[in-house]
Amino acid sequence: MEYIPVIMLADDLTEIPVYNLPEGFQAKTYRNGDECEWARIEHSVGEFKSRDDALKHFNIEFGPFLSEFQERCFFIEIGNGEKIATATAWYNTDFLGKRYGRLHWVAVIPEYQGKKLGKPLVHLALERMKRFHDCVYLTTQTTSQPAVNLYLDFGFVPFVEDTESLRGWRILAKHLRHPKLKDFE
């Protein structure tokens, strides 16, 4: 599958689908020191070449905002306290000319993918987002088809910013066959 970045928007957070975590998992918010766990998780899914690179990115993007990050970042833990997934209910002060929420850095370590954690994780982040924002966006890519499908089920819709993103949505429509992508077939 060709890698093409795409953007998705959700302009209505009033009816977020509810998904509970499976038994044996619990949600926690970020606590000081969890940045190493965030880096480990994001590295495990291939977002960064190393944990050190992930940690450097974390410190640049979130380091100055740790008090906000504490209430906007979620982890899923297993019974022994190991963190195995993360998602952030972040924001952008100037997306499309206004302040948007941003569903950001959603990741489940590979060993736990397919265990019905993605939907509860996104649910947690979007519920928190409702406290601060009316509109939310996210960035993803054509190579993340299961994630795109999940986001569509949560009410996100494609945002076409240029011919390349339109091409990406056409590719996704062909492979996913999701009703919300019908106009791109």
Mean pLDDT of 115-123: 97
List of residues 6+ apart from 180 with CB closer than 8 A: 152, 157, 158
Per-residue model confidence (pLDDT) at position 9 = 98
Contact 26, 185 (CB under 8 A): no
Q: Please give the model's pTM, rounded to 2 decimal places.
A: 0.95
What secondary structure letter does DSSP report for 15? T
Q: Which pLDDT does position 179 carry in this prediction?
A: 96
Confidence of residue 117 (pLDDT cuts 50, 70, 90): very high
Q: Identify the pLDDT of residue 165.
A: 97
Fold of 5-184: Aminopeptidase (3.40.630)
Q: Are 153 and 8 in contact (CB under 8 A)?
A: no
Q: Specify the pLDDT at position 113.
A: 96
At residue 93 the predicted structure's pLDDT band, cuts being 50, 70 and 90, is very high
Q: Looking at residue 37, what is its pLDDT? A: 98
Percent share of the chain, pLDDT over 90:
98
Give the per-residue pLDDT at 65: 96
pLDDT of residue 39: 98
Residues 101 and 132: beta-carbon distance below 8 Å: yes
87: β partners: 74
- CB neighbour burial string for 50-75, b if at least 16 within 10 angstroms, e if fewer: ebeebbebbeeebeeeeeebeebbbb
Average pLDDT over residues 85-111: 96
Mean pLDDT, residues 166-178? 97
Predicted pLDDT of residue 180: 95
What pLDDT sits at residue 182?
A: 96
Pairing of strands 73-78, 5-10: unpaired
Neighbours of 112 (CB within 10 A): 18
pLDDT tens figures, 10-69: 999 999 999 999 999 999 999 999 999 999 999 999 999 999 999 999 999 999 999 999
